[in-house]
């Protein structure tokens, strides 16, 4: 059964959406082992069932955490986010900055002006000018990507860079 589930692409879909349980083997609940509807790899489903067992079936938090292979802090976090956001709140959020936090409109305008004034300026020198003007370090490759409109390569992703160094 696990091989069939892997072939259907569900595991990769769960991974891409941040819903892949990193420890599915720790889910000891019988439903997740005898009923194909319940998938221990689906972290959202595991968290929801854990919450439901406590709220509806009267399990203690410790029992539910043990059965579903999650910690008590994970339970409390899932409970709080479920109460405030519903089911979508159980999906893991991406960590880290949510965008180009250093590349403000002012910095981008400065970079654009510098490139217009001096077309032969290389990315490293431009990075140094940004540091001198705004006091922030921006990697030269980041400036190159912004100028070319390309996105950052993700680990394992294949992407061709069409940007040429000035």
pLDDT digits (tens, 9 = 90+) for 18-68: 899 999 999 999 999 999 999 999 999 999 999 999 999 999 999 999 999
* Integer Cα distance of 150 and 159 in angstroms: 9
Axis-axis angle for helices 72-85, 61-68 (nearest 10)? 100
* Residue boundaries of the structural domains of the chain: 2-90, 105-148
Higher pLDDT, 161 or 9: 9
Q: Is the pLDDT of residue 117 over 80?
A: yes
Q: Is the pLDDT of residue 139 over 80?
A: yes
Q: How confident is the model at residue 165, as a pLDDT?
A: 44
């Amino acid at each position: 059964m696990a091989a069939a589930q892997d072939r259907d692409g569900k595991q990769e879909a769960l991974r891409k959406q941040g819903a892949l349980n990193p420890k599915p083997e720790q889910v000891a609940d019988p439903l997740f082992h005898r009923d194909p509807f319940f998938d221990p790899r689906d972290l959202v489903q595991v968290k929801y069932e854990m919450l439901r067992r406590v709220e509806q079936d009267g399990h203690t938090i410790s029992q539910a955490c043990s059965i579903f292979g999650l910690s008590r802090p994970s339970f409390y976090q899932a409970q709080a986010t479920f109460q405030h956001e519903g089911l979508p709140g159980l999906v893991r959020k991406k960590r880290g900055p949510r965008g180009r936090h250093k590349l403000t409109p002012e910095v981008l305008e400065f970079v654009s002006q510098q490139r217009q004034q001096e077309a032969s300026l290389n990315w490293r020198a431009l990075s140094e000018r940004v540091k001198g003007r705004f006091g922030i370090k921006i990697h030269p490759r980041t400036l190159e990507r912004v100028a070319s409109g390309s996105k950052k390569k993700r680990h394992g992703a294949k992407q061709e860079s069409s940007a040429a160094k000035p």
